């Protein structure tokens, strides 16, 4: 079973709302990731945190704001989203980031299914 926990499982929000997605892992992993996945499509990388510092931002609009309060937690703050932002948001973690090998295997959470009305 996955050891990456995401809350909430489902979220419906209006375009003027502010909400946050949460991700937690207790595997001691030092790299954490946010992905966006549309139906029947592969996950698209949004952000990568390595040792609690933002290391990759894949040109994501500023209405998505990531935060890594500590090595176990990753948040994604949402503000003024558009209907096209409706998707499954996946969190993943790996022991390390930036190399190859077992330390870079990514483990995924169950995701938050977001609907923007």
- How far CA 36 is from CA of 8, 26, 30, 67, 92, in Å, comes to 15, 22, 20, 16, 11
Residues 12-71 that bind another protein (CB under 8 A): 40-43, 45, 48, 56
> Tokens 């001691």 map to which residue?
28
Going residue by residue from 70 to 109, which x/- string records binding to another protein, judged by CB under 8 A? --------------------x-x----xxxxxx-xxxxxx
| Residue nearer to another protein on the CB measure, 28 or 99 | 99
User: Whole-angstrom Cα distance, residue 6 to residue 99?
Assistant: 26
Q: Which residues bind another protein (CB under 8 A)?
A: 2, 40-43, 45, 48, 56, 90, 92, 97-102, 104-111
């Amino acid at each position: 079973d996955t050891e990456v926990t995401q809350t909430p499982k489902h979220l419906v929000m209006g375009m003027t709302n502010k909400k946050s997605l949460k991700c937690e892992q207790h595997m001691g992993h030092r790299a954490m990731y946010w992905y966006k996945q549309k139906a029947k499509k592969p996950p698209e990388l949004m952000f990568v945190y390595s040792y609690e510092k933002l290391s990759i931002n894949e040109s994501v609009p500023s209405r998505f704001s990531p935060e890594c309060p500590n090595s176990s937690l990753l948040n994604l703050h949402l503000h003024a989203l558009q209907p096209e932002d409706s998707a499954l948001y996946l969190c993943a973690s790996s022991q390390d980031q930036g190399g190859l090998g077992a330390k870079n295997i990514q483990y995924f959470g169950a995701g938050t299914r977001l609907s923007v009305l």
